[in-house]
Structure 1
Amino acid sequence: MPFDITAVVNLMGLSAVAVFAISGALDAARHRMDILGFMLIGTVTGIGGGTLRDLLLGNLPVFWIREPIWISVCLIASAATYFIAPKLVSLSKALLWMDAVGLALFAVVGTEVALNFDTTPLIAVCMGVMTASFGGIARDVLCSSNLTLMNEELYITTALAGSVVYLSLNSLELPHSYDLIGGFCVAFLLRALAIRFNIKLPNPYKKA
């Protein structure tokens, strides 16, 4: 059976949207929002990065308007989280790990989409990073949370690493599954290590 890369990328994209929507909904839970708040924050988190990517690439109308399944996944995942969140022992830990998975998936998917538009490698990497990070930024702003991206947290660096690894493997003309798996694993493992061992980037402006 031939390897259907389009189907795999779409599956990864839907998974990323669902996971990021859950991370947004978990942040809504921390702020004790109602179910509509869950769905709003979850949806903005899930589709935010991809929307920015499509706008910058001129890929209009954006993906979730062309194919409403994307926004449907966000709404369903967010609403489901509303009922599951009270049963979680630690909302903060669940949010961190959901965010890590979504970040890694979106870094790869965003880069792949940009390459399909025949962008240069630099632009493809930028699109991967933006796709991976913008939804989280929107979530933090709407929830008045500390902006993970704007401090020494090892966050955007992991998306950058995953995107670069994906692009590097892609240039070697290996089976396409290697590109996707390699990029995802690097981004997720780096973020996981940062979470587990509290690894941060050096900040020369932070007072001791």
Structure 2
Amino acid sequence: MDALSTTLFWLDYAAVAVFGATGALAAAHRKHDIVTFGFFAAITGVGGGTLRDLLIGAPVFWIQRPGYVVACLTAALAIWLLGRRGWRFRALLWLDALGMAAYAVVGTAKALNLGVHPFTAVVMGVLTTAFGGVIRDVLAGEPSILLRREIYITAALLGASVFALLTGFGVAFWPAGIAGFFAAFGLRACALKLGWSLPGFAGGEDDGA
């Protein structure tokens, strides 16, 4: 395994664990049991990467490496042991922002590393980021991130695009990855702190059109 593959491997683990924690936090918000904690964590942690691998024709990353699922379950157990905490919803938002930024870069990097066209690689980065969160929100009975006007998918798109663009210009993985991560996380953080959102369609039903 070369240095880039090793880096992607560990970043993938970190992103999966963080997204797993957001799944467990969503279960905590609904006061589910420990089994549901683990299920939410696993499906959220590996869902986006599974879709990415299926679409680009790569071996599904967690099938031969069950440590990914173990990382999700460990994150779920950690959230369970924390017990009742009033800050968990805010933690969910910020952990999700970190996971989103990391996954946007990791998903794009994995696709590029397999020779996928840069445009498609960016799409894979966004799908890697979004799909696990979509499943989590549906299972938790929350409005899907795709149906909310808050800036989330846009942040993932920005991070993935910055990484792919810099890589295309010959920038090394780490500088490009750090730039992509902070672009995605910075935009999402501004949205959370300042209430930024995208404008809705002006001609919708609420306007009487």
TM range (shorter): over 0.9
Which stretch of structure 1 is more off in the superposition, 112-121 or 20-29?
112-121
TM-score normalised by structure 1 residue count: 0.94
Kindly tell me: are residues 101 and 175 of structure 1, through their superposed partners in 2, closer, same or farther at Cα, counting changes over 3 Å? same
The percent identity for this pair of structures is: 42
Kindly tell me: are residues 84 and 207 of structure 1, through their superposed partners in 2, closer, same or farther at Cα, counting changes over 3 Å? farther
1:11-68 deviations in Å (ceiling 9; x for gaps)? 21111101100011001001000110100001100000000001111213x1100211
Paired position in structure 2 for 1:195: 192
> What is the Cα deviation at residue 207 of structure 1?
4.2
The unaligned stretches of length 5 or more in structure 1 are: none
Partner AA of 1:155 in structure 2: Y
Cα distance in 1 for partners of 2:173, 2:100 equals 20
DSSP 3-state at the match of 2:62: helix
DSSP 3-state at the match of 1:130: helix
DSSP 3-state at the match of 1:186: helix
Kindly tell me: are residues 14 and 85 of structure 1, through their superposed partners in 2, closer, same or farther at Cα, counting changes over 3 Å? farther
DSSP 3-state at the match of 2:63: helix
Paired position in structure 1 for 2:88: 91
Cα distance in 1 for partners of 2:69, 2:205 equals 40
Which of 100, 103, 108 is the aligned partner of 2:105? 108
Kindly tell me: are residues 39 and 207 of structure 1, through their superposed partners in 2, closer, same or farther at Cα, counting changes over 3 Å? same
TM-score normalised by structure 2 residue count: 0.93
> What is the Cα deviation at residue 175 of structure 1?
2.3
Kindly tell me: are residues 22 and 146 of structure 1, through their superposed partners in 2, closer, same or farther at Cα, counting changes over 3 Å? same
Give every structure 1 segment of 4 or more consecutive aligned residues whose post-TM-superposition deviation is greater than 6 Å.
none
Partner AA of 1:77 in structure 2: A
Cα distance in 2 for partners of 1:152, 1:175 equals 34
Which of 41, 65, 68 is the aligned partner of 1:67? 65
Cα distance in 1 for partners of 2:205, 2:179 equals 34
1:85-137 deviations in Å (ceiling 9; x for gaps)? 42x33222111001000000000000011112211111101100000110000
Q: Is contact 1:107-1:129 (8 Å) kept?
A: yes
Which of 177, 181, 200 is the aligned partner of 1:180? 177
Q: How many residues align?
A: 204
Map 1:44-59; keep pairs closer than 5 Å: 44-59=43-58
Cα distance in 1 for partners of 2:51, 2:83 equals 28
Which of 124, 128, 133 is the aligned partner of 1:131? 128
Kindly tell me: are residues 206 and 73 of structure 1, through their superposed partners in 2, closer, same or farther at Cα, counting changes over 3 Å? farther
- CA root-mean-square deviation: 1.4
Kindly tell me: are residues 32 and 172 of structure 1, through their superposed partners in 2, closer, same or farther at Cα, counting changes over 3 Å? same
DSSP 3-state at the match of 1:63: coil
Cα distance in 1 for partners of 2:62, 2:165 equals 29
The unaligned stretches of length 5 or more in structure 2 are: none
